[in-house]
Every structure is written in structure tokens, then in C-alpha cells.
């Protein structure tokens, strides 16, 4: 969800030091920093639904689930992103409290302003993470969930899930109900404007 550029000319170390002092979140892409934009209520609800479901399913495992405010480092692409939800089961990630570098699962909830980036350049960067097995996109407007899964041949295959189905996250061996994950995510439509009727 990063769009407007705020700073440029940073390296990764300078970005981390600068970001610590910022009141808002900013993503880093190859020397440039982009401010995170606000989200709709439905986006926040979807993120919380998935976080709660994963926390429940992974309780007692070595895996940790993070929501929104923990950075993911993609060193091969020189990027730091703030995924909506990220899961790591790698002990090395406990040694870097500012970010994770070895996630198994990354989730982005789509918005109109960032959908193209999440599907394109951001996914291309995430694919450079050797640890990543599932890249998940929540399309709240369409009430669907897309899972891009890395197969043993290192190809990414799309699995599409809708209401009434269960989404399989093989990276963490979890099966979740799509309806539960998308519960209460339909924004109320604007009330229709009724044209004024002239009195005769």
C-alpha cells in the first residue's frame, strides 16, 4: 500500500535508521522510500480475520504471524515491504527484530490504488525470496482469495478460491474457510441519489 514517494537516495541501513523515527510506515525500494497510504475498513477487517485464523491454527508451532507493522526484507531486490500478514517459521528471523527475511507466507490485501503493484513489481520482488512458498492476494471487492504457490519445479501456480470454499495454505499446512476470512468485509454502498421531483 505504498504509493507517494517521500525520500530518495537511501541505502538499506540508512532507511532502517530513518524509519525508526517516523510516525508513519514507509516502504523502501532500491534507494527510494514510499509513504504508506490509508486503507478502507474492509481492508483492515480482512487483515485481522486472517491474522486471527493463522494465530489460532499455528499456536504451539515454531511459526510466528505478524500483521501490517512488521517489515519483510527482500535483500535480492533491495526492498523492505510491509505486508498485511507475514508468517515465518525460521529461527533466523528472531535475530532481526526490525524485519523478517525468511517468510514462508506473505499476504497482501488489494486496494484500487495498489492492486497493479501488488500483482506486478511487488510480486516480482517477493519471488526472489527463496523461503517463500505462498503469496496470497485478498480481493475484497470480488470476495475472492488468490494463492500463488511455488511448486517443486520453482514455478508459481495460481489457485483461486471463493465463498463456500476452503483456501489451502500449503506453506503452513493450514486449511481455512474463505467465508470466515472475508467475514464482514463488504463495505456498505453509497446510498443512491434520488433526483428532486419538481412540484407541478
Residue 141 maps to which CATH number? 3.90.1570.10
Contacts (Cβ under 8 Å, ≥6 apart) of 177 = 166, 167
Answer yes or no: is 17 within a domain: no
Q: Which residues pair with 36 in a beta bridge?
A: 2
Number of C-beta neighbours around residue 11 at 10 A? 11
Q: What is the CA radius of gyration of the chain?
A: 19
Question: Does 30 map to a domain?
Answer: no
pLDDT digits (tens, 9 = 90+) for 7-55: 567 899 999 999 999 999 999 999 999 988 777 899 999 999 999 999 9
- Those residues with Cβ within 8 angstroms of residue 195's Cβ, 6 or more apart along the chain or in another chain: none
Task: Count up the domains in the chain and report the number.
Answer: 1
What is the grid cell recorded at 191?
Answer: 446510498
Domain-embedded: residue 115:
yes
In a domain, 21, yes or no: no
**Which has the higher per-residue pLDDT, 64 or 187?**
64
197 lies in a domain? no
pTM above 0.85, yes or no: yes
Is 20 within a domain?
A: no
In a domain, 188, yes or no: no
pLDDT value, residue 153: 95
> At 113, is the secondary structure helix, strand, or coil?
coil
Structural domain range at position 78? 39-181
Q: How do residues 104-146 score in pLDDT, each as one tens digit? A: 999 999 988 889 999 999 999 999 999 999 999 999 999 999 9
Indicate whether 112 belongs to any domain. Answer: yes
Residue with the bigger pLDDT between 108 and 196: it is 108
Strand pairing report for 2-8 and 32-36: antiparallel
Amino acid at each position: 500500500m505504498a504509493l507517494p514517494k517521500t525520500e530518495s537516495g537511501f541505502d538499506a541501513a540508512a532507511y532502517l535508521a530513518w524509519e525508526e523515527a517516523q510516525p508513519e510506515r514507509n516502504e523502501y525500494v532500491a534507494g527510494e522510500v514510499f509513504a504508506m497510504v490509508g486503507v478502507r475498513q474492509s481492508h483492515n477487517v480482512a487483515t485481522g480475520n486472517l491474522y486471527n485464523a493463522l494465530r489460532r491454527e499455528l499456536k504451539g508451532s515454531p511459526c510466528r504471524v505478524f500483521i501490517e507493522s512488521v517489515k519483510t526484507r527482500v535483500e535480492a531486490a533491495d526492498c523492505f515491504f510491509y505486508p498485511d500478514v507475514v508468517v515465518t517459521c525460521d529461527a533466523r528471523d528472531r535475530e532481526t527484530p526490525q524485519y523478517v527475511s525468511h517468510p514462508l507466507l506473505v499476504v497482501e490485501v488489494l486496494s484500487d490504488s495498489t492492486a497493479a503493484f501488488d500483482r506486478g513489481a511487488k510480486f516480482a520482488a517477493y519471488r526472489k525470496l527463496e523461503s517463500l512458498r505462498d503469496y496470497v492476494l485478498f480481493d475484497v471487492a470480488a470476495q475472492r482469495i488468490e494463492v500463488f504457490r511455488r511448486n517443486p519445479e520453482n514455478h508459481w501456480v495460481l489457485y483461486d478460491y471463493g465463498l463456500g470454499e476452503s483456501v489451502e495454505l500449503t506453506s503452513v499446512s493450514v486449511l481455512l474457510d474463505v467465508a470466515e476470512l472475508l467475514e464482514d468485509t463488504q463495505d456498505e454502498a453509497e446510498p443512491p441519489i434520488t433526483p428532486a421531483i419538481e412540484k407541478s
